[in-house]
A and B are shown apart, each in its own frame.
Chain A
């Protein structure tokens, strides 16, 4: 089920735009979105590095991420 009508309409509108235009037209929008999300996360982590508390949080996050068990093949988000 899609979330709401306007969201559903936007999914269709965008997919039609992608379908009907060359990659040069739609790729820049996708790149902007993807890159900006990663840039924002990187900036957030960089800011954390500036303070003692932030560095502790970062270290904790780093350890948590490394400790995370591998996911089973049947995980909900994987094919």
Chain B
């Protein structure tokens, strides 16, 4: 794998994402999903946040992860109190970490795995040599399906189109359709 590159090869988002992911990986299984997947595959657009899904963990384990992030100069925007942050996660909310003493993006938006699709996303997570990044992502099929079936904005459709071109020869269309059906069943209250 050609994942060891110079700092100059990485942009602000790459550096932020790799730093957070390296810490999170020590405590819990995670995946990065959505916009950053497309951007790290060469899509030319910016984003303020990177979306991450983590396995459900208990408060003690989350406390260890939170402490590690704090020790490495990140802070949670919603609250400095671990108990409060954990409550947000438990309630199905996402929490946002940024570099300490700045309220500026980029930020890592973290949420708990919430259903069978998220479990499947975690189970089928991938690292993509194409990106040059040492980060676990959800599969391309998952991202394409979610963007086309669930999110559906111009930006999302363009992300999906970009990924479809990059992985033209290897994309599993049947899998995408299967995931789209799961989305329809499990996320009926979704946007589309």
Contact = CB atoms under 8 A, between A and B. Distances in A.
B93 interface: yes
B39 A70 contact: no
Nearest to B115: A73
Question: For this complex, into which size category does the number of interface residues on chain A fall?
Answer: 35 or more
A66 B187 CA distance: 29
A5 interface: no
A35 B11 contact: yes
B11 A30 contact: yes
Interface of A: 1-3, 11-12, 14-16, 18-19, 23, 26-27, 29-31, 33-35, 37-38, 41-42, 45, 61-62, 65-66, 68-79
8 shortest interchain CB distances as A-B pairs: A18-B42, A70-B93, A15-B165, A31-B11, A34-B11, A79-B33, A65-B103, A37-B46
Given A18-B166, A79-B142, 16 more contacts: A1-B154, A15-B43, A15-B162, A23-B9, A61-B103, A65-B77, A68-B77, A68-B78, A71-B93, A72-B92, A72-B93, A73-B92, A73-B94, A76-B151, A78-B51, A78-B111
29 contacts: A1-B157, A18-B41, A18-B166, A19-B165, A19-B166, A23-B9, A31-B10, A33-B46, A34-B39, A35-B11, A37-B46, A42-B104, A61-B103, A62-B103, A65-B77, A69-B78, A70-B88, A70-B95, A71-B93, A71-B94, A73-B94, A73-B112, A73-B114, A74-B190, A75-B94, A76-B153, A76-B191, A79-B33, A79-B146
